[in-house]
Amino acid sequence: MSAKIPLSELDLICKQAQEAKIELRRSSKAKKNDALKYASEFLLKNKAKLIDANTIDMELASQKDLQDSFVDRLELNEKRIDSMISGLDKVINLDDPVGQTNQSHTSPSGFEVSKMRVPLGVIGIIYESRPNVTADASALCLKSGNACILRGGSEAANSNAVIEECMQDGLDKASLPKYSIQLIKNQDRKLVGEMIKREGDIDLLIPRGGKSLIRVISDEAKIPVLKHYEGLCHVFIDKDADLKKAIEISVNAKTYRYGICGTMETLLVSEEVAAKVLPEIKSELDKLGVEIRGCEKTKEVIDVKSASEEDWITEYLAPILSVKVVTDLKSAISHINIYGSGHTDSIVSENLSSVETFFNEVDSSSVMHNLPTCFADGFEYGLGAEVGISTDKLHARGPVGLEGLTSQKFVIKGQGQLRS
């Protein structure tokens, strides 16, 4: 913290977060759950107020030239608020990782060594104009004993302010510091630039949004950033695949939703089964309006556009699929490791030895067997809500839930041993 007087807006927020984190670190599991429960009650009570605030946000947004998907994410209605509230209830029911200690071992000098999970401290989250993230992300930070500083997209400012108020009222009612959850209200973009340099004040920064935003923040940040780059996910249909499963999984992986990071962008097919599965996959995808771009060998089997080198590195986030026929498992793995984004990749096969090789050698945050990649999601994994899906290898990889918001410290219990 710089000691400048008067304190800037961000100075004050950071100072308040630092104070809150000390209380949070020592607060009981029950107290944190109480705060979440009260917050969900305040959200329920203030539903009308929240919808009014959101209506203002939506009206202001309608005056801008925004994409439909953007406006859709901004909108709140009764059902979505109920889902936000039930999200908080789900967080209450998650195991609290704080204080968990692993099995201890005895050191050569006879003292006891173990590791204990502890909160990171203060988490900064920079996100798009999605009001539900304000509730989801702050609930996960609170449950894991961290204070958080939220910077949401400006279009959601009014909705976010109401949600922050409900969360803070919940904290207050549970006798926890209300500044455990703080929203930066000043919409000046300069504050993001300041926030990402707050070494010592913010322990971890989680940017959510487009690849270019994450890239800029990672490059300029002076504090650790949990990166969630793109999901260029593959499904590989092995020669030993159950062909019915292969077709269903491929179609589901592409068409469940086009805009999520777990969507399959490239389908790899063993040349031994290409002629058996590609026609049916094409016929299903044709019905759903998905364009296929194939390699030369694919085009020998189905009548599709040509894929270029560029296609193998493109996350379409759209009804487009690139298809490549590969010689074998080894060439599939090699393609994935070269062109993939290390997010989620799946093998369809009944040969467990091939599955094991795929699991060991594909260098991605999630490797799957006989499943569509669109399952890549914290809730689907049974981890509860997530703050993002990390494509980093360090600290947290894949869907990041409560554990990714904590750290482990060594706890060493001695009986007066001395080092000689």
Residues near its own copies, by CB under 8 A: 22, 25-26, 99, 105-109, 111, 113, 116, 118, 120-121, 203-204, 219, 222, 224, 242, 245, 248-249, 252, 256, 337, 359-361, 363-372, 374-375, 379-383, 392-395, 397-399, 407-420
Q: What share of the chain is helix, strand, coil (3-state, %, to 5)?
A: 45, 20, 35
CB-nearer residue toward its own copies: 108 or 289: 108
Cα Rg of the chain (Å, integer): 24
Minimum separation from the CB atom of position 361 to its own copies (A): 6
**Of 59 and 95, which CB lies nearer to its own copies in the complex structure?**
95
CB of 209 to its own copies, least distance (A): 20
**Least spacing, CB of residue 25 vs its own copies, in Å:** 6
DSSP-assigned states of every residue in 171-207: HHHTTS-GGGEEE-----THHHHHHTT-TTT-SEEEE
Which residue, 37 or 245, has its beta carbon nearer to its own copies? 245
For residue 240, give the nearest of 198, 195, 286, 276 by alpha carbon.
276
- Could you tell me if 131 and 165 are in contact, meaning their C-beta atoms sit under 8 angstroms apart? no
Q: How far is the CB of 398 from its own copies (least distance, A)?
A: 5
Bridge partners (DSSP) listed for residue 322: 266, 293
Nearer to its own copies, 22 or 288 (CB): 22
Of the pair 166, 368, the CB lying nearest its own copies is at 368
Greatest CA separation for the chain? 77
- We find the least distance from the C-beta atom of residue 409 to its own copies, in angstroms, to be 6
Residue 141, Cβ neighbours under 10 Å: how many?
28
Report how far residue 9's alpha carbon sits from residue 34's, in angstroms, rounded to the nearest whole number: 29
Q: With respect to its own copies, which residue has the nearer C-beta, 33 or 146?
A: 146
Handedness of CA 219, 221, 224, 228 (dihedral sign): negative
Report in angstroms how near the CB of residue 379 gets to its own copies at its nearest: 7
